Amino acid sequence: MSDGKKQKGFTLWFTGLSGSGKSTISERVALRLQRKGLQVEVLDGDIVRTHLSKGLGFTREDRDENIKRVGFVCQLLTRHGVISIASVISPYREARDHNRKLIGNFVEVYTRCPIEVCAKRDIKGLYQKAAAGEIKGFTGVDDPYEPPLNAEVVCHTDTESVEESVELVIKKLEELGFIS
């Protein structure tokens, strides 16, 4: 930060169905924050699964373990004044609530989008494979997604533009005193 003050660490936790816009919005938010001279680290679900959580499957236990690992990394970064942005489906409330308690400075962003819209956006064809029974335990199809009950930000990504969603997040961060 250019004014000599220590940056306040916090975690922005993006949750939502596959294809709901988590990665797109979180990347744009990260860019906006970096342009303000802030230190930001993005932990995207696909990248985390490749490196940090390699070998974990998609049982409830493995999904929870994956989310707890991401939460642990976010907690370390947050404690050291870095803005952590996690963009992970994180389908279960209990695991997200665990991370909220662990991290403290935690802002939940729910990228709310009807499953039909997510399926239309799906460039990997995962929804189609899940519907055909080729993928078992796919979140939102044959495994539950538990929407947040009290997310600080709800982005309606089927009706808002990416920029409108980004603006909602930035305004909430200002309102909460995490950024100026």
* Residue 3 pLDDT > 70: no
The model's pTM:
0.92
Which residues have CB under 8 Å from 18's CB, separation 6+?
89, 118, 122, 126, 127, 138, 139, 140
* Residue 126 pLDDT > 60: yes
Region of poorest pLDDT, from 72-81, 113-122, 123-132:
123-132
Nearest to 114 by CA among 106, 122, 103, 124: 122
Q: Which two tokens stand for residue 131?
A: 């519907």
Domains of the chain: 10-114+147-175 (3.40.50.300)
Catalytic residue among 53, 84, 90, 165: 90
Give residue 2's pLDDT: 45
CA distance linking residue 113 with residue 98, whole number of Å:
24
Give residue 1's pLDDT: 45
* Residue 14 pLDDT > 80: yes
Give residue 44's pLDDT: 87
Is 20 catalytic? The answer is: no
At 65 the three-state DSSP class reads helix
CA distance linking residue 62 with residue 76, whole number of Å:
21
> Residue 165, Cα to own-chain centre: how many angstroms?
13
Give residue 7's pLDDT: 83
DSSP 143: B
Give residue-wise pLDDT tens across range 58-114.
788 888 888 999 999 999 999 999 999 999 999 999 999 999 999 999 999 999 999
* Interaxial angle between packed helices 162-175 and 22-35, expressed in degrees from 0 to 180 and rounded to the nearest 10: 50
